[in-house]
Amino acid sequence: MQITSKFTVAVHILACIDIFGRDMRVTSDFLSGSTGVNAVIIRNVLAQLKAAGIVSTRQGSGGAHLAKPLNEVTLYDIYKATNCVDDDGLFHFHENPNAQCPVGKNIHMVMDNRIAAAQKAMEQELKKTTLSQIIADTRNLISESEE
């Protein structure tokens, strides 16, 4: 099971809002052009970010705005806001291992704790990175490419 692309799309959206939002209205059409993702999906992701209190939006051509300071939003917050992983977790186990097979009978006991630990480690890592760090790195790369 992969994390949906909504996570990286959401990070891209938030970077655009911060980088371009001072000089222009950041609309779903603009974000669609930047991300290469359909504007309907952009609006859905914006709605998820809005529900999480990360962005604010106005109907019509008001555009999107950050609702929290960059240093208060982590990649984990974005990951959770975009519902990238369902309640069953990141890894989905095949449903019917053969209980008559010695491997099938034991594979859950061997794997369940390990894959839960892997997901927890990934989530802990996401909690360490703020949107402020992502924006700073993005701005640095933009500056370097303009030189």
Residue 18 lies in a domain: yes
Rounded Cα–Cα distance for residues 142 and 147 (Å): 9
Q: What percent of the chain has pLDDT over 70?
A: 95
Segment 7-39, tens digit of pLDDT? 999 999 999 999 999 899 999 999 999 999 999
**pLDDT reported for residue 2:** 58
Segment 70-89, tens digit of pLDDT? 999 999 999 999 987 766 67
Judge contact between 30 and 48, C-beta under 8 A.
Answer: no
Return the HEC string of 5-39. CHHHHHHHHHHHHHHHCCCCCCCHHHHHHHHCCCH
**Running DSSP on this structure, what letter comes out for residue 99?**
T
Torsion of CA 100, 101, 105, 111, to 10 degrees: -160
Residue 29 lies in a domain: yes
Residue 50 lies in a domain: yes
Residue 100 lies in a domain: no
Residue 107 lies in a domain: no
Full-model pTM = 0.86
Residue 116 lies in a domain: no
**Mean of the per-residue pLDDT values of the chain:** 91
Q: Is 132 helix (H, G, I), strand (E, B) or coil?
A: helix
Domain that holds residue 74: 6-85+130-146
Residue 101 lies in a domain: no
Which CATH number fits the domain that encloses residue 72? Answer: 1.10.10.10
Name which of 15, 17, 130 is nearest 73 in CA terms: 130
Q: Is pLDDT at 1 greater than 60 in this prediction?
A: no
Domain count, the chain: 1
Name which of 18, 15, 70, 80 is nearest 49 in CA terms: 80
- CB atoms inside a 10 Å sphere around CB 34: 16
How many angstroms separate the first and last alpha carbons of the chain? 41
Rounded Cα–Cα distance for residues 35 and 96 (Å): 39
Residue 136 lies in a domain: yes
Segment 94-128, tens digit of pLDDT? 888 899 999 999 998 999 899 889 999 999 999 99
Rounded Cα–Cα distance for residues 96 and 136 (Å): 47
